Amino acid sequence: MLGSDAIVEAFQHHGVSRIFIFPGGTIAPVLDSATRRGVEIYCARHEQGAGYAALATARLSGRPQVVMVTSGPGVTNIITVVADAYFDSTPLIVLTGQVGTGDMLGNLPLRQRGFQEVDTIALLRPVTKAQFLPKKPADLPGMMEQAFEVAASGRPGPVVVDLPMNVQRGEVGEIPGSDEHPARDGKSLHGVNPAQIRQVLEWLESSRKPVILAGQGVLIARAQRELRALAEHGQIPVTQSLLGLGAFPTASPLALGFHGHTGNQYAGRALHEADLILVVGSRLDVRQTGSRFDDFGSGGRVVRIDLDLAELEHSRIRSDLNLHADARSALAALNAGLAGRALPDWSKWRERIDRWRKEFPLNYDMDGALKPQFVIETANRLSGGRSVICVSGVGSHQQWVARHFDFDYPTRIWLTSGGHGAMGFDLPVAIGSQLACPEAQVLCFVGDGSLQINIQELAAVAENKLPVKIIVLDNRRLGIVSQFQKFNWKSDPACGEKWNPDFAAIAAAYGITGLTVRSVSEVEPALKKAFVEPGPVLIHCLVDPLEDVVPMLMAGQTMDKMWPYE
């Protein structure tokens, strides 16, 4: 068996039937083996296109997916996706072609020895859980096994396996017992501690103003049912992080939407006043806590459940109790402890929150101009009752989708770039979502700026006849950065008044139905047409360039206040 065959065997052993690639000479041996052994090959138009499509499949299936790129420029082009997967906990197996071991630079004081050689391991080390560099074909079976194990275990994330040409092409032969163990980030997970569970329940029972804060950890652990049981048993309000949206149905009367930098002000108020915040599977990023770390949770106690011990040990937020556990086990233990026990009546607290809902609604003026929020709300309404995967780019439109679209895992799923905040996530993630879930309605809300980062992937939409609906919210502006510049420096160089192409005409050039929407009255007919059309549709919406993300939690503000309100 060749080294490349051993790699493909590992795919098959782990249920990977499709790999995501952009080709090059140094991955040709694995491509040959994959074809001979019946593994489907999805070929994007750019390495980011391949990587994000794999990332979407991994997020939706919860299982590691394979992206494979060639050495040199293939590697440098994939780094953004790998970083995205690392920061947002997505299990990816990143296979990179490499020059033969005899041509590798090693420790020589040269810039390069082999053609298209880069030090892949060094480039990817800061954004991967583990790095593997097989020196001989016999190393491959063990390393591939470990790669799949590490990517999926504990807090998921990407791993890289750098594949020198001669290692792929050589005979595997005898497989020696491996004594090499890669660096592992997760310390082993102990069971849920019953004394800690009793303590949380005691605090909950004596609380007057509890709030649950749900993060993406709930979704990764597939613990949305356990979360719902806890919240509904006690009628406890639930706020969600940007990536956690959908962990709890956002249309529920108990849901506060999301909180933080661009979240709902009433959610911020609830967190500010809460006397018990139960944080489940969220790292409490600065975007959701604001910069006043001292103030977060100052109204009472903070309890955290997380399976990444490092997040608990190095948090900027004070915590009164840390449960090192996965969200599902911890929530199940809390629910078991509550069985048959009545919790206090928190209706006064909920009424107080409901008054804030009315005081700080997510309004926007319908002053004649076409508002992006209106497009999103209309798409939300028209897609009701369907299985939806909603994807966004990065920018103001991302925040509006998070605010105005309803999520409820697993029927209304949200995929967005959180920690890395990478423009260009949008279109290729929509593609990967549609490949992974052919029956789902995939909606891609994307800004004019974000779309252009990976616009070449329209070719893959057309080629694979993927019925994604791409809704371009074109404000002729790199909106959220322009808003930031204007707020601080009163002008927006490079970000305002952008020249844009006719995106509907571009879609048409790819053989994709393109529609243009300029006014409020055109929104619903265009969306309805898109939803009934069996193939892909791009709707180019010319939205109000003056619309800003308001309100916003600014540096120095506590959670209860959001600019421009006090």
Ligand X SMILES: Cc1ncc(C[n+]2csc(CCOP(=O)(O)OP(=O)(O)O)c2C)c(N)n1
Judged by the rule CB under 6 A, the positions of this chain that interact with ligand X are 393-397, 421-424, 447-450, 453, 473, 475, 477-481
Helices 327-338 and 194-206 sit at what angle, rounded to 10 degrees?
Answer: 60
- Neighbour count for residue 140 (Cβ, 10 Å): 28
Q: Return the SS3 of 450.
A: helix
Q: Are 114 and 181 in contact (CB under 8 A)?
A: no
Among 95, 94, 25, 85, which residue's Cα sits nearest to residue 59?
Answer: 85
Please report, as a single letter, which amino acid is at residue 134.
P
Cβ neighbourhood burial of 213 (10 Å; 0-12, 13-18, 19+): buried
Cβ at position 396, least distance to ligand X in Å? 4
- The residues binding Mg ion (CB under 5 A) are 447-449, 475, 477, 479
Among 511, 489, 503, which residue's Cα sits nearest to residue 539?
Answer: 503
Structure tokens at 90: 């997505």
**CB closer to Mg ion out of 250 and 454:** 454
Cβ at position 275, least distance to ligand X in Å? 36
Cβ at position 373, least distance to Mg ion in Å? 14
Largest CA distance in the chain: 74
**CB closer to ligand X out of 281 and 418:** 418
Cβ at position 46, least distance to ligand X in Å? 13
Cβ at position 190, least distance to ligand X in Å? 38
Residue 419 binds which entry of Mg ion, ligand X, none, CB below 5-8 Å type-dependent: none
Residue 137 binds which entry of ligand X, Mg ion, none, CB below 5-8 Å type-dependent: none
Residue 146 binds which entry of Mg ion, ligand X, none, CB below 5-8 Å type-dependent: none
Angle at 463 between CA 460 and CA 468, to 5 degrees: 65
**CB closer to ligand X out of 218 and 453:** 453
DSSP one-letter string for 61-81? HSS-EEEEE-STHHHHHHHHH
Show Cβ contacts of residue 242 under 8 Å, excluding neighbours closer than 6 positions: 258, 260, 263, 287, 288, 402, 416, 418
Structure tokens at 254: 């108990």
Cβ at position 541, least distance to Mg ion in Å? 11
Q: Are 69 and 26 in contact (CB under 8 A)?
A: no
**CB closer to ligand X out of 326 and 426:** 426
Residue 432 binds which entry of ligand X, Mg ion, none, CB below 5-8 Å type-dependent: none
Could you say which DSSP state residue 122 is in? H
Cβ at position 130, least distance to ligand X in Å? 26
Residue 421 binds which entry of ligand X, Mg ion, none, CB below 5-8 Å type-dependent: ligand X
The count of residues in the chain is 566
- Neighbour count for residue 443 (Cβ, 10 Å): 28
**CB closer to ligand X out of 9 and 548:** 548
**What residues pair up with 187 in beta bridges, in sequence order?**
none
Residue 394 binds which entry of Mg ion, ligand X, none, CB below 5-8 Å type-dependent: ligand X
Residue 480 binds which entry of ligand X, Mg ion, none, CB below 5-8 Å type-dependent: ligand X
Residue 404 binds which entry of ligand X, Mg ion, none, CB below 5-8 Å type-dependent: none
Distances (CA, A) of 306 to 154, 183, 220, 311, 499: 10, 21, 11, 8, 45
- State how beta strands 388-392 and 441-447 pair: parallel
**CB closer to ligand X out of 169 and 498:** 498
**CB closer to ligand X out of 431 and 455:** 455
> How many Cα neighbours within 13 Å face the side chain of 258?
30
Rounded Cα–Cα distance for residues 219 and 222 (Å): 5
Residue 114 binds which entry of ligand X, Mg ion, none, CB below 5-8 Å type-dependent: none
Residue 308 binds which entry of Mg ion, ligand X, none, CB below 5-8 Å type-dependent: none
**CB closer to ligand X out of 459 and 481:** 481
Structure tokens at 56: 């979407």
Cβ at position 261, least distance to Mg ion in Å? 18
**CB closer to Mg ion out of 234 and 449:** 449
Cβ at position 310, least distance to ligand X in Å? 25
User: Nearest residue to Mg ion, using CB?
Assistant: 447
Q: Are 182 and 162 in contact (CB under 8 A)?
A: no
**CB closer to ligand X out of 74 and 449:** 449
**CB closer to ligand X out of 155 and 540:** 540
Cβ at position 244, least distance to ligand X in Å? 20
Cβ at position 475, least distance to Mg ion in Å? 4
Residue 450 binds which entry of ligand X, Mg ion, none, CB below 5-8 Å type-dependent: ligand X
**CB closer to ligand X out of 73 and 545:** 545
Angle at 295 between CA 290 and CA 297, to 5 degrees: 95
**CB closer to Mg ion out of 207 and 475:** 475
Cβ at position 431, least distance to Mg ion in Å? 21
Structure tokens at 205: 């029972």
Cβ neighbourhood burial of 59 (10 Å; 0-12, 13-18, 19+): buried
Residue 564: asked if its preceding bond is cis (omega within 30°), the reply is yes
* CA distance between the termini of the chain: 69
Cβ at position 473, least distance to ligand X in Å? 6
